[in-house]
Structure 1
Amino acid sequence: MMAYRALTFFDLDGTLLDAHSQVTPEVADAMQQLKQNDILPIIATGRTEPEVQHIMEAAQIESDIVMNGAFIRVNGTEIHSDRLDPELCRNVYEAVLENGDQLSYYNENNIWCTGYNDELINAYQFIHSQIPPIDPLAFEKYPVNMLLVLGKNNEGFYEERFPELNFFRNTPYSLDTVKKSVSKGNAVTILKQAMNLENVPTYGFGDGPNDLALLQACDTKIAMANGAPVLKEIADFVTKKNTEGGILHALRHFDLL
């Protein structure tokens, strides 16, 4: 087991990535420098691995927390996968039809959706990701770690119907949907325990409401200047915007580079 000086957890859109959801050369170089300094960079995102593979390759990062904590891989090795019960998926599917929305199903390898609407198309365009194929009953055939509800202003409907689930507004058009026990923050704890790294300092970087648990779980909490007020309120440090070199600014501030 490698002796790490620190663990760094990075959200993607609005945090590690630029305005076009890309890794800049400066950020890629910083990730390499972290590894040279015995600091492990880890992506922590609501997306699934196929959606971020090109990002991981561009940054040469081999560790991730994806689907808001439902799946964890460290240095290329799977260490955790939390799956949704198919009957629960069916109940959400029926509620989505009732409310006039659409739904996507996620696991570590694939994404399927129930159908196309404006919110679904806008949600995937918002993060510069491919629109998934249609398979309304994918949950009957494949394991599912996370759901994505496509629609606007619908949190209340689903939160009342499914108190056992968490709904995170990740774009204006979509809700990341996972078990109550699943979060980026819980994933930090699971990763540290699984890798016997409980005493290694942790740094969390984020901008959105679904990063709240991530920052709360980390020793040092870093919010982007473009981030949500709820993150800035608990942050140890508010860095510059993601489009203004915020990642490098924070890493240098804490002497990680």
Structure 2
Amino acid sequence: MYEAIAFFDLDGTLLNGKSQVSAEVGEAITQLKKNKVLPIIATGRNEQEIQQIKQDAHITSTITMNGMIVKVDGTIIEASEIAPEQCESMLHFARNLQDELAFHSTEQLFISGVNEFVKKSYEFFHLELPPIHPQAYQEFPTNMILVLSEGNDTIYQEAYPEFTFYRNGPFCIDVVNKGISKGTGVQTVKDYLKLPDIPTFGFGDGINDVALLMACDNKIAMSNALPEVKEQSDYVTAKNTNGGIIKALKHYDLI
């Protein structure tokens, strides 16, 4: 049985500067599992985007799309959706602002169109452009929307109070149902495993990691983290590109 759970953000946290899992981090996760600690990825990305990462990190449990989908050992234990009519409304709203959207589901990922912000967003995360399918929300469940835009955050927030918006890069905003976060994913995992008192460790750097850290007993921020994340942390480790994950795992005697 597990003796602890460790939740890892990806970009700027578990991944290196090339958005990859280093061999050293992969080895550390393997040791973590030997020490009866369950490692879980907690990310804004969807399942399709992290298959190689999961393999390299030796991790099978995930909180994806900022808590909209939660899996333990590959089994979906929580799935939240955005209604098609809400997707359609936001698509028209975005187009009026000359923005495009991405529609994420558990396995599929489509974009509504391509402009400079779309290209820059996927280049920033070292990802290939998804297929263009503006009406994907009519064919597949939508678990998260991405607004591909350099700005307009406040405009979207005021127009759609039923959603939570996370600025997750210079050219994209994650959109999820209000009340859903990486933090709610932490509680979902604990409830599913029936381990209410198991110690939890959260690792993050971005604004969508604030809820993650707040939900965990031990809150670890990378030194490259935003000030808001560091304010919530118990411990600030080194940068993700300078052995920060391994340093923190050793600090807490997890490896």
TM-score interval, normalised by the smaller of the two chains? over 0.9
Correspondence for 1:41: 39
Look up the match of 1:30. Answer: 28
Q: Of 117, 121, 124, which aligns to 2:122?
A: 124
- Which amino acid is 1:117 matched to? N
Residue ranges of structure 1 left out of the alignment (5+ in a row): none
Query: How far does the alpha carbon of each residue in 1:35-67 deviate from its partner, in whole angstroms, 9 at most, with x for none?
Result: 100000000000001100000001111111000
Identity of aligned residues (%): 47
Return the alpha-carbon distance in structure 1 between the equivalents of residues 138 and 94 of structure 2: 17
Take 2:215 and 2:226, find their aligned partners in 1: how far apart are those partners?
17
- Following superposition, the deviation at residue 178 of structure 1 comes to 0.4
Alignment of 1:136-175 (within 5 A): 136-175=134-173
The residue type equivalent to 2:113 in the other structure is G
DSSP-derived class of the 1:26 partner: helix
The partner residue of 2:109 within 90, 101, 111 is: 111
1:90 Cα deviation (Å)?
1.0
Which digits, 9 at most, give the CA deviation of each residue in 1:44-100, with x for residues without a partner?
Answer: 000001100000001111111000110011112111111111111111111111111
Letter in 1 for 2:9: D
Other-structure match for 1:241: 239
Q: Counterpart of 2:207 in structure 1: which amino acid?
A: P
Residues 139-186 of structure 1, C-alpha deviation per residue, up to 9 Å, x if partnerless?
A: 111100000000112101100100010111111000000011210001
Counterpart residue type for residue 157 of structure 2: E
Aligned partner of 2:190 in structure 1 is: 192
The residue type paired with residue 31 of structure 1 is I
The Cα offsets for residues 122-153 of structure 1, whole Å up to 9 and x where unpaired, read as 11111111211111111111100000000112
1:106 CA displacement: 0.2
Using the TM superposition, give the Cα deviation of residue 253 of structure 1 relative to its aligned residue in structure 2, in angstroms. 0.3
Residue 89 of structure 1 corresponds to: 87
Superposition RMSD in Å: 0.7
* Corresponding position of 2:72: 74
Aligned length: 255
Q: Distance in 2 between matches of 1:153 and 1:139?
A: 24
- Taking structure 2 as the reference length, the TM-score comes to 0.99
* 2:241 partner SS: helix
Task: Give the structure-1-normalised TM-score.
Answer: 0.98
The match for 1:180 among 178, 181, 187 is 178
Distance in 2, matches of 1:20 and 1:45, equals 16
Aligned to 2:8: 10
Amino acid in the other structure paired with 1:180: K
Q: Deviations over 1:89-125 (max 9, x none)?
A: 1111111111110000000101011100111111111
Moved over 6 A (4+): none
Distance of 2:115 and 2:194 partners within structure 1: 45
Cα offset, 1:203, TM superposition: 0.2
**Structure 2: which amino acid aligns with 1:17?**
L
For the residue of structure 2 that corresponds to 1:171, the secondary structure is coil
Q: Unaligned stretches of 5+ in structure 2?
A: none
| Aligned counterparts of 2:68 and 2:13: Cα–Cα separation in 1 | 20
Letter in 2 for 1:49: E
- In 1, the alpha carbon distance for the partners of 2:148 and 2:118 equals 5
Amino acid paired to 1:110 = Q
